[in-house]
Amino acid sequence: MNYEFLLAITTVLYLSQIALFLYGFRRIPQRGGSREQPPVSVIVAARNEEHSIGQCIASLQAQSYPSERYEIIVVDDSSEDGTRAICENLAAGDRRIRVIPSAPKASLRGKVNALATGIRESSGELLMITDADCIVPPTWIEATVRFYEPGMGIVGGISLQHATNAFTGMQSLDWAFLLGVAAAGVGLRNPLSTIGNNLSFRRAAYQQVGGYEGIPFSITEDYSLFQAIVRTGSWRYAYPADDSLLVISKPCRSWRELIRQKHRWGKGGLDMKFSGFLIMAIGFVQHLMILTGPMLYGAVSAALTGWLLKSVGDYAFLHTVLRRVRRLDHLRYFHAFQVYYLLYVLILPFLVFFGRKVIWKGREY
């Protein structure tokens, strides 16, 4: 088989996959129908976040959900800066906020231990998690709670990043693509993953799987918990995409930080189901064919055609995701994303399988 024929096959597979994602994404609901207002506990694990935690807490204080129906528990995960003091100052003027230290537990480490500590100290029927470097919309709790009709166990959500230039914009589009695929998987009844800065679940579902203590330790604790609850078969799950529950996170500040983030995500996803690996394999082969065409076969025109067709598919999917969350302005960074995406999909497997231990938030795993 010649190069052009193989490229044509991989391009058809890739675009067919995009079409499937579009179908799945369009099947997910935008808004829930519940009108109940159960008590909610928001858990924020914070480690050395003095430059971000104030904005995060302020966004949680400004929720449209009745103030007497939710609490905010900030878990100080052994911060070495002013994070704890900032949180305590804010808590002094708001009885909804509690600041507690992460309680050491032999079976848990790092952020997982901090989250487990916060959940043990919380009282809400519904548990919501976001990160200390995130800002949530005023409707975040209210819009999420509406999905908790009887039987709903866990609800994921879309998160983007604060984009101001090509470097931060390409990161935000990367998140839009990955989380759009995660949402599409739910629409196809094939739940793949989620992200822990926009995640909620019933306490009963969390307790059924034994909490974080009852599932194998993972540096991507959000993925592990999501899959554990889904695998019980006892609970429904949802992955809405709407600006009323869109979380905005701070992007990585440097290439080094970005590489470490991808390394951590890749290592944490090694136990992904077969369909997830198949999606990654199709993307890897497609990108490999595009990149090697000019270098090994001199097929510049064919490779560029393959890249153009792939880009059309990527743009169509991103446009669908970003239109749902009303962030179409992020598409101005699409060209930077395409170059970045082409390279990192090829590099990531080598980083995961041959890279050293994961370093995150000053800790080694």
Rounded Cα distance between 365 and 355, Å, is 12
74 SS3 class: strand
Looking at per-residue pLDDT, the higher value among 193 and 176 belongs to 176
Q: Which of 97-101, 149-153, 160-164, 258-262 has the lowest mean pLDDT?
A: 258-262
- pLDDT for the residue numbered 260: 84
For the cut 90, the answer to whether the pLDDT of residue 140 exceeds it is yes
Q: Which of 80-94, 131-145, 347-361 has the lowest mean pLDDT?
A: 347-361
Rounded Cα distance between 146 and 142, Å, is 7
Q: Residues 151-174: what's their mean pLDDT? A: 96
Say if residues 295 and 314 touch (Cβ distance below 8 Å): no
Question: What's the pLDDT band for 17 if we cut at 50, 70, 90?
Answer: very high
Rounded Cα distance between 123 and 245, Å, is 22
Q: Mean pLDDT for the chain?
A: 91
Of the chain, the percentage scoring pLDDT greater than 70 comes to 93
Question: What's the pLDDT band for 363 if we cut at 50, 70, 90?
Answer: low
42 Cβ partners below 8 Å, 6+ apart? 60, 70, 71, 72, 73, 128, 129, 130, 141
For the cut 70, the answer to whether the pLDDT of residue 269 exceeds it is no
Could you give the angle at the alpha carbon of 127 between the alpha carbons of 123 and 128, nearest 5°? Answer: 135
- pLDDT for the residue numbered 352: 67
Rounded Cα distance between 205 and 151, Å, is 10
- pLDDT for the residue numbered 171: 96
- pLDDT for the residue numbered 146: 97
Q: What would the 3-class secondary structure string for 111-173 be?
A: HHHHHHHHHHHCCCCEEEEEECCEECCCCHHHHHHCCCCCCEEEECCCEEECCCCHHHHHHHH
Looking at per-residue pLDDT, the higher value among 205 and 4 belongs to 205
Of the chain, the percentage scoring pLDDT greater than 90 comes to 71
Rounded Cα distance between 237 and 197, Å, is 17
Rounded Cα distance between 144 and 64, Å, is 12
- Residue 95 has which token pair? 């009885």
Longest dimension (CA), the chain: 70
- pLDDT for the residue numbered 165: 96
- pLDDT for the residue numbered 197: 94
Q: Residues 331-352: what's their mean pLDDT? A: 89
Rounded Cα distance between 111 and 92, Å, is 25
Looking at per-residue pLDDT, the higher value among 277 and 156 belongs to 156
> Kind and range of the H or E element at 291?
helix 274-292
For the cut 90, the answer to whether the pLDDT of residue 72 exceeds it is yes
User: What's this model's pTM, rounded to 2 decimal places?
Assistant: 0.92
Q: Which domains, ranges and CATH numbers included, belong to the chain?
A: 3-25+263-357 (no CATH), 40-253 (3.90.550.10)
Question: What's the pLDDT band for 106 if we cut at 50, 70, 90?
Answer: low
Q: Residues 40-68: what's their mean pLDDT? A: 96
